[in-house]
Amino acid sequence: MNYFRGLLVAIFVTVSFASAQTETYTNADPIRSFVYYQVDYGNFGREMGRFNTFDYTIVRDTADPSKSTIEFNVDATSMDSGVDQRNQDITGPDFLNVAEFPTISFKSTSVTDVGDGNLEVTGDLTVRGTSQPVTATVEYIGEGEGSQGEYRVGYYAEMTFNRQDFGIDWLTGVIGDEITLLISVSGIRQ
């Protein structure tokens, strides 16, 4: 009987310890999280805009960051460049084609700790129904208790991809091929 009791205690301690290493963060407060894009225009400018609607889930393994995961979903219809005509062009059939592909998504496949809480995250980016591997550099901003007693973690990420890899070849030579997503999150622990 003591053997089984000891075994149960060991299992409980092991499960409790393992679950204490994993924390899940979401954008329960999207006011402090942002997704921007930037792309060169000709040889003389850079366009920037934002996506107003998105969600993400970060499962952070504090003991082994390589076991962490990140999933991101962006509502491509929420793209906002600040100019109505440009919004129509970018969300239209020649570029994002949001009528057919309303979501841009990213799902990590590997996470590497590069020191000081910073990460290199590789995953599958899906744009216009096409998935390609991309790598994001992720800067750890910090963590702590928020003003309402919630626990937060902050990251800033940059992810660059070639739009032609996703079948976006409209205005090649006028609009740059490299698009960078700039992502700043203040995730709330669940």
Which domains, from first to last, does the chain contain? Answer: 23-189 (2.40.128.110)
Element (H or E) spanning 6, and its range? helix 2-20
Give residue 6's pLDDT: 46
Distance in angstroms between the alpha carbons of the first and the last residue of the chain: 38
Q: Which amino acid is at 30?
A: P
| pLDDT tens digits in sequence order for the chain, 190 residues long | 554 444 444 444 444 444 459 999 999 888 899 999 999 998 899 999 999 999 999 999 999 999 999 999 999 999 999 999 999 999 999 999 999 999 999 999 999 999 999 999 999 999 999 999 999 999 999 999 999 999 999 999 999 999 999 999 999 989 999 999 999 999 999 9
d(Cα 50, Cα 53) in Å, to the nearest integer?
9
Using DSSP's 3-state secondary structure scheme, residue 174 falls into coil
Its pTM surpasses 0.75:
yes
